[in-house]
């Protein structure tokens, strides 16, 4: 009830009383005038006295209310000024008109009359879409709300809450598994003293690193360690690009060894069992990519990689090849037939390896078929298929995707060669239909991987998949030998992937080539397969003509937006650029038939092109990689490529 209502409530009874008294006087006047006169005189006096008293009461009430309002107003103003909530009042033009003491202390500068969107960038625009936004200003964190009617911004300080949350995030547990990649190979010919010295060196280097970053670690095997840390320490390790990799590698040189370290890290959950599994999975991924690197695997499936700058050393053994060969035989013979697929737009290595696996199956009296569609045959492959067409026994092994789909049963084994990514296989539908899958590949393992394979034979140390398959054939029955044409196609696959034995070529590569030559591989026919037609030569020359030299010996060439280039032509251009003086790595960017922009990357080894291509969604080897980008122009792709190269070079310099 307000002041006027209170006065009205008091005044109405007084008026009713006066009217009643007047009515009584009138009645008395009718019956007795003398009594009525006396009563009237008394009534007038009483009305005057009551009126005066009522007026005084009203004045006292007004004074009391005014005094009380003054106290309340002062208290309100004081509360608003000292509230632990920030308030900023704006004028019609969104300039700051007033702010309370809380905001004055937090802003620290005089911003009166300044536009609020300049003091707190675009804050009103952000608040148009949502009722509340979170901002950071002068190391304070706020939830901000806006009252449009009052032109007032309200700032709720959440700094302490944010810091508490950061502390919680920083303290989340991390488990890492460390593995000395080639410890057994290096120490197998050492005496006890030498082995003890290198063990002491390894322990010393890792201990110093662990103490520097406050990491607890334990060596539980000659070549394996487990480490416990938290999210904050992991961030510091990432900032240092895991310098332990280069520290151990450089220190081992003094012991006449090239010892490398791989680390798998699990993060993204507080469940220690899950962290341990993620850590081991990350280590498997790092080793599958050639070792000498770190794979950080998150619970959400994301993986980050560090290191991998050195070309992987040849670590596979004859024993492993023999074990894999017998395991593959067991798996294939448990099924009814074998379907073999390479990657999309298969090259000679993929086709050579597929033919080799088909011969492997025939050696064990199994039906085998190679999936190849006419749309996947390039000019080089066409020359190979022309020769295959002359050999009915070999020709009948080739089927289309639809034919492969129709002949598959629940017991059919699908063998994927020269890729391990499901999205890269020649026909993903055939892969998805298979219950039994085998993967044979020589590329470094990426995040994407074929699910639930019965057998995985991945050796990034090998020159080619054809080399791996050749070794597997050596341990199978010899009654059905490789034919001359089969050996030649496999030999051509090795030639293509090694660039005539100049890249990624180890002693085992020559052993495989020797085995194929002994089975009739024809070098003249190989050269026929690898011949260029005139159009391919012209297109390759067009690409090379656009080359631009960058820093660090990097060369970038490109096609035009209105011309389509075959991926093989693009790859050949990248290969040829490496033969030019001063070029350590080459990247060729061109438009493909599927309207994607393809990038083919090659390196002599000093620059890891795989890391660059992985940053753009692709992958491959340290010296041989590629990617495809959707929905961009040639210029956009080059800009993304240059940014990826710059970031990689920056990280390499920091390491």
Predicted pLDDT of residue 533? 80
Q: Categorize the per-residue pLDDT at 269 as very low, low, confident or very high, splitting at 50, 70 and 90.
A: very high
Strands across the sheet containing 173-180: 216-221, 224-230, 173-180, 261-267, 293-298, 303-307
Q: Nearest-CA neighbor of 198 among 151, 145, 252? A: 252
Question: Tokens for 39?
Answer: 């009563």
Quote the pTM value: 0.60
Which of the 8 DSSP states describes residue 562? T
Predicted pLDDT of residue 23? 67
Residues in Cβ contact with 227 at an 8 Å cutoff, skipping those fewer than 6 apart: 175, 176, 177, 178, 210, 215, 216, 217, 218
Q: Which CATH class is domain 318-529?
A: alpha beta
Q: Is 353 exposed, middle or buried (0-12, 13-18, 19+ CB in 10 A)?
A: buried
Per domain, the residue ranges of the chain are 3-82, 86-162, 171-307, 318-529, 536-654
Give the up-direction half-sphere exposure of residue 319: CA atoms within 13 A in the CB hemisphere: 1
Predicted pLDDT of residue 78? 53
pLDDT tens track for 528-548: 998 878 888 899 999 999 999
Lowest mean pLDDT among 159-163, 284-288, 371-375, 392-396: 284-288
Torsion sign across C-alpha atoms 180, 186, 189, 195? negative
Report the pLDDT averaged over residues 11-19. 65
Residues in Cβ contact with 590 at an 8 Å cutoff, skipping those fewer than 6 apart: 543, 558, 559, 563, 564, 565, 569, 570, 597, 598, 634
Per cent of the chain over pLDDT 70 is: 85
pLDDT tens track for 472-524: 999 887 778 899 999 999 999 999 888 888 877 888 899 999 999 999 999 99
Inform me whether the pLDDT recorded for 18 exceeds 70. Answer: no
Q: Which CATH class is domain 536-654?
A: alpha beta
pLDDT tens track for 613-642: 989 988 887 888 899 999 899 999 999 999
Q: Categorize the per-residue pLDDT at 27 as very low, low, confident or very high, splitting at 50, 70 and 90.
A: low
Inform me whether the pLDDT recorded for 525 exceeds 80. Answer: yes
Strands across the sheet containing 597-603: 548-549, 554-558, 585-591, 597-603, 624-629, 619-620
Report the pLDDT averaged over residues 433-457. 88
Inform me whether the pLDDT recorded for 373 exceeds 50. Answer: yes
Q: Which residue did the predictor score with more confidence, 374 or 477?
A: 374
Inform me whether the pLDDT recorded for 11 exceeds 90. Answer: no
pLDDT tens track for 212-233: 999 999 998 888 999 999 999 9
Give the up-direction half-sphere exposure of residue 329: CA atoms within 13 A in the CB hemisphere: 17
Report the pLDDT averaged over residues 78-86. 65
Lowest mean pLDDT among 71-75, 118-122, 585-589: 71-75
Q: What is the mean pLDDT of the chain?
A: 85
418 assigned ligand-binding residue: yes
Most confident of the following: 131-140, 397-406, 500-509? 397-406
CATH number of 171-307: 3.30.70.270
Torsion sign across C-alpha atoms 502, 506, 509, 511? positive
Predicted pLDDT of residue 478? 75
Q: Nearest-CA neighbor of 194 among 250, 259, 249? A: 259
Predicted pLDDT of residue 58? 63
Predicted pLDDT of residue 70? 45
**How many C-beta atoms lie closer than 10 Å to residue 532's C-beta?**
15
Q: Categorize the per-residue pLDDT at 557 as very low, low, confident or very high, splitting at 50, 70 and 90.
A: very high
**Residue 179 near residue 238, CB atoms below 8 Å:** no
Predicted pLDDT of residue 287? 79
Cα–Cα distance measured from residue 613 to residue 631, given in angstroms and rounded to the nearest whole number: 17
519 assigned ligand-binding residue: no
497 assigned ligand-binding residue: yes
- Residue found under tokens 């007038």: 44
442 assigned ligand-binding residue: yes
Q: Which residue did the predictor score with more confidence, 14 or 370?
A: 370
Lowest mean pLDDT among 94-108, 243-257, 313-327, 454-468: 313-327
Q: What is the CA radius of gyration of the chain?
A: 42
Report the pLDDT averaged over residues 392-401. 94
140-147 and 132-137 strand pairing: antiparallel
Predicted pLDDT of residue 317? 59
Predicted pLDDT of residue 71? 44
Q: Which CATH architecture has domain 86-162?
A: 2-Layer Sandwich (3.30)
Question: Tokens for 361?
Answer: 């199956």
Inform me whether the pLDDT recorded for 3 exceeds 70. Answer: no
Cα–Cα distance measured from residue 86 to residue 120, given in angstroms and rounded to the nearest whole number: 13
Report the pLDDT averaged over residues 390-414. 94
Predicted pLDDT of residue 655? 55
Question: Tokens for 415?
Answer: 């063998």
Inform me whether the pLDDT recorded for 25 exceeds 90. Answer: no
Predicted pLDDT of residue 29? 65
């Amino acid at each position: 009830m307000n002041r006027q209502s209170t006065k009205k409530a008091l005044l109405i009874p007084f008026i009713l009383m006066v009217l009643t008294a007047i009515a009584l006087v009138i009645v008395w006047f009718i019956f007795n005038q003398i009594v009525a006169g006396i009563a009237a005189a008394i009534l007038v006096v009483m009305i005057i006295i009551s009126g005066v008293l009522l007026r005084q009461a009203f004045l006292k009430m007004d004074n009391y209310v005014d005094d009380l309002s003054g106290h309340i107003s002062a208290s309100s103003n004081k509360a608003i000024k000292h509230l632990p909530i920030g308030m900023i009042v704006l004028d019609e033009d969104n300039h700051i008109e007033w702010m309370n003491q809380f905001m004055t202390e937090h802003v620290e500068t005089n911003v009166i009359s300044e536009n609020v969107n300049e003091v707190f960038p675009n804050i009103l625009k952000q608040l148009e879409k949502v009722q509340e936004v979170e901002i950071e200003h002068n190391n304070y964190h706020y939830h901000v709300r806006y009252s449009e009617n009052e032109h007032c911004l309200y700032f709720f300080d959440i700094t302490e809450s944010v810091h508490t949350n950061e502390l919680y995030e920083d303290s989340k547990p991390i488990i890492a598994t460390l593995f000395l990649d080639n410890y057994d190979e290096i120490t197998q010919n050492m005496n006890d003293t030498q082995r003890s010295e290198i063990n002491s060196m390894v322990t010393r280097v890792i201990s110093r690193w662990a103490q520097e970053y406050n990491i607890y670690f334990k060596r539980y095997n000659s070549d394996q360690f487990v480490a416990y840390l938290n999210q904050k320490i992991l961030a510091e390790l990432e900032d240092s690009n895991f310098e332990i990799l280069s520290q151990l590698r450089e220190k081992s040189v003094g012991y006449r060894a090239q010892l490398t370290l791989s680390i798998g890290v699990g993060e993204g959950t507080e469940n220690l069992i899950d962290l341990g599994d993620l850590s081991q999975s990350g280590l498997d991924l790092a080793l599958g990519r050639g070792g000498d690197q770190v794979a950080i695997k998150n619970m959400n499936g994301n993986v980050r990689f560090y290191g991998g700058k050195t070309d992987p050393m040849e670590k596979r053994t004859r024993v492993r090849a023999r074990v894999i060969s017998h395991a593959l035989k067991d798996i294939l013979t448990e099924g009814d037939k074998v379907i073999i697929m390479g990657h999309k737009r298969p090259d000679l290595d993929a086709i050579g390896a597929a033919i080799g696996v088909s011969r492997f199956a025939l050696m064990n009296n199994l039906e085998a078929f190679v999936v190849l569609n006419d749309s996947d045959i390039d000019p080089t492959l066409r020359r190979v298929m022309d020769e295959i067409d002359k050999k009915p026994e070999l020709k009948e092994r080739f089927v289309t995707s639809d034919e492969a789909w129709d002949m598959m049963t629940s017991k059919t084994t699908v063998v994927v060669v020269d890729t391990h990514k499901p999205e890269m296989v020649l026909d993903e539908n055939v892969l998805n239909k298979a219950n039994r899958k085998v993967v044979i590949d020589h590329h470094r393992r990426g995040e994407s991987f074929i699910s639930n394979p019965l057998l995985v034979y991945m050796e990034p140390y090998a020159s080619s998949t054809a080399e791996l398959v050749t070794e597997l054939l050596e341990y199978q029955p010899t009654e059905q030998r490789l034919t001359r044409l089969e050996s030649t196609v496999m030999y051509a696959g090795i030639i293509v992937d090694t660039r005539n034995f100049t890249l990624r070529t180890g002693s085992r590569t020559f052993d495989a080539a020797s085995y194929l030559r002994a089975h009739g591989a024809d070098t003249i026919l190989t050269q026929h397969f690898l011949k260029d037609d005139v159009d391919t030569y012209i297109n390759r020359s067009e690409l090379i003509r656009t080359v631009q030299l960058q820093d660090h010996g990097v060369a970038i060439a490109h096609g035009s937006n209105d011309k389509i280039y075959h991926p093989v032509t693009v790859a050949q251009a990248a290969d040829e650029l490496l033969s030019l003086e001063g070029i350590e790595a080459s990247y060729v960017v061109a438009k493909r038939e599927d309207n994607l922009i393809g990038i083919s990357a090659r390196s002599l080894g000093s620059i890891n092109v795989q890391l660059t291509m992985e940053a753009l969604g692709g992958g491959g080897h340290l010296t041989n990689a590629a990617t495809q980008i959707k929905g961009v122009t040639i210029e956009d792709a080059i800009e993304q490529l240059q940014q990826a190269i710059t970031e990689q070079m920056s990280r390499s310099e920091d390491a």
